[in-house]
Amino acid sequence: MASSKQVQVTACILWLLFLTLPCSSSTESLYQHSLVVGENATLGLSHGMPVGKSPSSKPGASVLCERVLVYGLSRLKHLDKFANTVKVKISTTSRFQTFEVCFHRNTSRGIGMCPDSQWEKVSKGSWSGSMSPFEHKLLAIRTAGSSLQNFEVFIKEEFFLSRLIFFVSGIVLMTLAPYLSNSLVFYYSSGMTIGVVLVILIWTVLG
Ligand SMILES: *[C@@H]1O[C@H](CO)[C@@H](O)[C@H](O)[C@H]1NC(C)=O
Ligand SMILES: *[C@@H]1O[C@H](CO)[C@@H](O)[C@H](O)[C@H]1NC(C)=O
């Protein structure tokens, strides 16, 4: 009994520490293009900046680069959004223009300077990625085409009910842990459930 109380107290302390993690808020103004989660939905890009030495682009060739800061929310002020995910989408009206995307967190990187391996090639005119509503991420775009003006960036918040359900059932299980750990019914029924799930898994893998 005493040890499960200790575990609960430790979990509460860790949770509080996690909630009070500092969240920097001074990067926003440094970027020409930014989208704020919960405030902006779309952003059209401008012509783009020519960059001569973008990693792995052809030597001597210059590519057009642009980047957008997606600015997240403060975790403390928006506790209600913990089950959300932010979908980030790029689309272009010229469907045959190929471009490359690098979605990263490193704010000290120059425009178009993502390492070789992090660029993702897009050839179907649209790209999408996702991030937490509480982080800040940079979306870098580069193309060998003539302009980035027909590009648009969208952000959209999506709510995941399953996260809320897991969160609530986790809390309920934690709270009931001292009783459940002494309950034979729980012991046998969870044992049976795991057994049945394993049998089904093995069945589907072998069959
Ligand atoms: C995003 O929204 C804020 C506040 O509503 C506004 O000041 C800012 O100009 C918007 N940014 C863009 C790129 O539309
Ligand atoms: C961030 O980018 C800078 C400049 O490209 C690089 O020197 C640094 O190692 C990067 N940091 C991380 C954590 O990748």
Question: Is the separation of the CB atoms in 137 and 70 below 8 Å?
Answer: yes
Does the beta carbon of 43 sit less than 6 angstroms from any atom of ligand 1? yes
Each residue of 22-74: pLDDT tens digit?
544 444 445 678 888 988 888 988 888 888 877 876 666 788 899 999 999 99
Looking at per-residue pLDDT, the higher value among 86 and 46 belongs to: 86
CA–centroid distance, 51 to ligand 2, in Å, is 18
Predicted pLDDT of residue 28? 45
Predicted pLDDT of residue 61? 75
Count CB-CB contacts under 10 A for residue 203: 9
Domain ranges within the chain, ordered by starting residue: 22-159, 162-197
Amino acid at 171: I
61-65, 76-80, 134-138: the lowest-pLDDT one: 61-65
Mean pLDDT of the chain: 85
Count CB-CB contacts under 10 A for residue 24: 8
Ramachandran region, residue 60 (left: φ > 0; alpha: ψ -120 to 50; beta: rest): left
22-159 folds as Jelly Rolls (2.60.120)
Looking at per-residue pLDDT, the higher value among 137 and 60 belongs to: 137
Q: Hey, whose CA ends up nearest to atom 10 of ligand 2?
A: 106
Ligand 2 pocket: which of 108, 111, 138 to mutate (most atoms within 8 A of CB)? 108
Q: Hey, whose CA ends up nearest to atom 10 of ligand 1?
A: 40
